[in-house]
Amino acid sequence: MVFYEILVIVYLIVAVMLIGFVLIQQGKGAGMGASFGSGGSNTVFGSTGSGNFLTRTTAILATLFFVISLILGNQTADKEKAVDDWQNLEVPVVKEQVMNSDVPVTEQSLPVTTDADVPAATETADEDDIPNL
């Protein structure tokens, strides 16, 4: 489990560095402006050194990104999925009744229902009782 957490942290660092190195690089058409005197080729690494360094670093970071992605995918494929309550909707969920702790519960205070307490349906609706719309 510790290996997985360390791998996720390394994965995030590699992803952020990869994004940074891609954004730092100049486009392919940037060399054309430098040849006409815009001065864009004066960089820290020289006119061609920055391209090689950034290109190689981006390639290494991209390779690391994909390799770590495959390792993390392999690690998570073996884990069991958590059981979701929404997977089986046929089984009713049993909810516990929470009684108020301020009121003491005794057998006399609980309501008792019997079949005699439930009113029976004696009348049926006739066609004359339904209003016309």
Per residue in 73-101, pLDDT tens? Answer: 998 887 777 777 777 777 666 666 666 66
Give the model's pLDDT for residue 34: 55
Residue 128: inside a domain, yes or no?
no
> Is residue 92 domain-resident?
no
Residue 53 lies in a domain: yes
Residue 99: its pLDDT value, please? 62
Range of the domain at 58: 15-24+42-79
Q: How many angstroms from the chain centroid is the CA of residue 54?
A: 32
Rounded to whole angstroms, what are the CA distances from 65 to 77, 86, 119?
18, 35, 70
At residue 5 the predicted structure's pLDDT band, cuts being 50, 70 and 90, is: very high
Determine, yes or no, domain membership for 93.
no
* Higher pLDDT, residue 116 or 52: 52
Would you say residue 106 lies in a domain? no
CB 16 within 8 A of CB 8: no
Instruction: Write down the pTM of the prediction.
Output: 0.48
> How many independent structural domains does the chain possess?
1
Residue 102 lies inside a defined structural domain of this protein: no
Residue 55 covered by a domain:
yes
Give the residue-averaged pLDDT of 89-117. 63
Lowest mean pLDDT among 17-26, 81-90, 100-109: 100-109
Confirm whether 49 is domain-assigned.
yes
113 compared with 68, residue with greater pLDDT: 68
